[in-house]
Amino acid sequence: MPVRVSPPIRPQTEPPAPPEDGSRTRAGDARRVLLFKRVLPTFTAGVIALAYVLIEPRSQDLAAHLLRAKLCATQGFGIWNNWWYAGHNIPGYSVLFPPLAALFTPQLVAAVSATVTAALFESLARRHFGADAWLGALWFGVATSTSLFTGRLTFAFGLMPAVGSALALQRRRTGLAVALAFVTPLASPVGALFSALAGGAQAVSAFLPNAVSDRRSQASAW
């Protein structure tokens, strides 16, 4: 009888490794670029603020900030003081800035506030406009830090809760937004005024398209 011979069994070999895909590398590079653009506005504001603290320029109105910090350190909270020209209303300047300035110096408080404000605005702008908002956030960070060198330290401090209130409102955290809106005039009455102006502009821009569409629908119904 013929004998059937089975074919030889070839040894199994590991499949060749697939060629390295460059998509993962490109995705990693894209994430790093996105992270760099997100961090850049805050980092830039922080560098400018650090330079301000280290240089300590005798900017305009710095003497007034130092005076109010000294008043709070020596006399605590007050309503009126006669040291500055014909006297001045102390709460009208700021309620929250003098005690913090007395503890950490006005320059340091304003520098930290400007950096935090830049970080808050970056998050606010990115959520509304997308990743392309990094350049506007960078410009805002630089502009916010310039308030330090021009002596608007209280305004730089008050801008922090103002932008934080807008960010909280954008994230639909109404309670936090209301709390920060209440803190803003205590930090800086001028900052509260600008915050109210921005809020009013936002309300008008949200109301006008609906009002126009309602009038058009009513006109078409007639």
pLDDT at site 119: 94
Could you tell me if residue 62 is inside a domain? Answer: yes
pLDDT at site 194: 86
pLDDT at site 10: 58
Say whether 79 sits in a helix, a strand or coil. coil
Could you tell me if residue 139 is inside a domain? Answer: yes
pLDDT-derived band at 99 (thresholds 50, 70, 90) equals: very high
């922090």: which residue's tokens?
Answer: 160
Structural domain count, the chain: 1
pLDDT at site 221: 47
What's the token pair of residue 111? 């520098």
Could you tell me if residue 175 is inside a domain? Answer: yes
What's the token pair of residue 42? 């805050």
What's the token pair of residue 15? 């499949």
Could you tell me if residue 198 is inside a domain? Answer: yes
Under a CB-based contact definition with an 8 Å cutoff, are residues 72 and 46 in contact? no
For residue 81, the tally of other CB atoms under 10 A from its CB is 15
Supply the pTM of this predicted model. Answer: 0.76
Full domain range(s) for residue 150? 33-221
pLDDT at site 86: 77
pLDDT at site 219: 46
Could you tell me if residue 28 is inside a domain? Answer: no
Rounded Cα–Cα distance for residues 131 and 38 (Å)? 8
Under a CB-based contact definition with an 8 Å cutoff, are residues 164 and 182 in contact? no
Could you tell me if residue 207 is inside a domain? Answer: yes
Rounded Cα–Cα distance for residues 134 and 34 (Å)? 9
pLDDT at site 78: 79
Whether residue 13 is predicted with pLDDT greater than 70 in this model: the reply is no
- Report pLDDT digits (tens) over 26-83: 666 777 877 888 889 999 999 999 999 998 888 878 888 888 898 888 888 878 878 7
Q: What is the CA radius of gyration of the chain?
A: 29
- Report pLDDT digits (tens) over 133-154: 889 999 999 998 888 998 899 9
- Report pLDDT digits (tens) over 156-213: 999 999 999 999 988 999 899 999 999 999 999 988 888 888 888 877 877 776 654 5
Burial of residue 19, with CB atoms counted within 10 A of its CB: 0-12 exposed, 13-18 middle, 19 or more buried: exposed
